[in-house]
Amino acid sequence: MGILYEKVQYTQELKRQMMIRQLIDMGITEDEGKSIYDLAYYTLRFVLATEKAKQ
Protein backbone atom coordinates (compact mmCIF):
# COMPACT_ATOMS: atom_id res chain seq x y z
CA MET A 1 0.00 0.00 0.00
CA GLY A 2 2.87 2.38 0.75
CA ILE A 3 4.33 2.04 -2.73
CA LEU A 4 1.01 2.84 -4.37
CA TYR A 5 0.63 5.97 -2.23
CA GLU A 6 4.14 7.11 -3.17
CA LYS A 7 3.43 6.57 -6.87
CA VAL A 8 0.22 8.61 -6.67
CA GLN A 9 2.05 11.41 -4.84
CA TYR A 10 4.86 11.35 -7.42
CA THR A 11 2.38 11.43 -10.31
CA GLN A 12 0.46 14.33 -8.78
CA GLU A 13 3.69 16.26 -8.29
CA LEU A 14 4.63 15.76 -11.94
CA LYS A 15 1.18 16.93 -13.03
CA ARG A 16 1.48 19.89 -10.63
CA GLN A 17 4.77 20.92 -12.24
CA MET A 18 3.20 20.69 -15.71
CA MET A 19 0.25 22.85 -14.62
CA ILE A 20 2.65 25.44 -13.16
CA ARG A 21 4.53 25.52 -16.47
CA GLN A 22 1.29 26.00 -18.42
CA LEU A 23 0.18 28.84 -16.15
CA ILE A 24 3.56 30.55 -16.48
CA ASP A 25 3.31 30.22 -20.26
CA MET A 26 -0.09 31.97 -20.02
CA GLY A 27 1.54 34.76 -18.01
CA ILE A 28 -0.02 33.81 -14.68
CA THR A 29 2.29 33.76 -11.68
CA GLU A 30 -0.15 34.11 -8.79
CA ASP A 31 -3.73 33.49 -7.74
CA GLU A 32 -5.44 35.78 -5.24
CA GLY A 33 -2.08 37.17 -4.18
CA LYS A 34 -0.53 33.74 -3.65
CA SER A 35 2.34 32.44 -5.79
CA ILE A 36 1.36 29.52 -8.04
CA TYR A 37 4.37 27.66 -6.66
CA ASP A 38 2.66 27.61 -3.25
CA LEU A 39 -0.68 26.28 -4.49
CA ALA A 40 -1.83 22.70 -3.94
CA TYR A 41 -2.53 20.29 -6.78
CA TYR A 42 -6.32 20.70 -6.83
CA THR A 43 -6.12 24.48 -6.55
CA LEU A 44 -3.71 24.60 -9.47
CA ARG A 45 -6.02 22.37 -11.48
CA PHE A 46 -8.92 24.73 -10.79
CA VAL A 47 -6.90 27.85 -11.69
CA LEU A 48 -5.66 26.28 -14.91
CA ALA A 49 -9.15 25.14 -15.94
CA THR A 50 -10.56 28.59 -15.18
CA GLU A 51 -7.87 30.33 -17.22
CA LYS A 52 -8.31 27.94 -20.16
CA ALA A 53 -12.07 28.61 -20.10
CA LYS A 54 -11.43 32.36 -20.30
CA GLN A 55 -9.45 31.98 -23.53
- pLDDT number for residue 1: 64
Question: What are the φ and ψ backbone dihedral angles of 15, each rounded to 5 degrees?
Answer: -65, -40
SS (H, E, C) 16-35: HHHHHHHHHHCCCCEECCEE
Q: Are 37 and 20 in contact (CB under 8 A)?
A: yes
Q: Residue 2: pLDDT band by 50, 70, 90 thresholds?
A: confident
Q: pTM score, two decimals?
A: 0.85
Q: What span, in angstroms and rounded, lies between the C-alpha atoms of 41 and 45?
A: 6
Per-residue pLDDT of 10-55, as tens digits, reads: 999 999 999 999 999 999 999 999 999 999 999 999 999 999 999 8
**Which has the closest alpha carbon to 49: 38, 8, 41?**
41
What does the CA dihedral 47, 49, 50, 55 come to, rounded to 10 degrees?
130
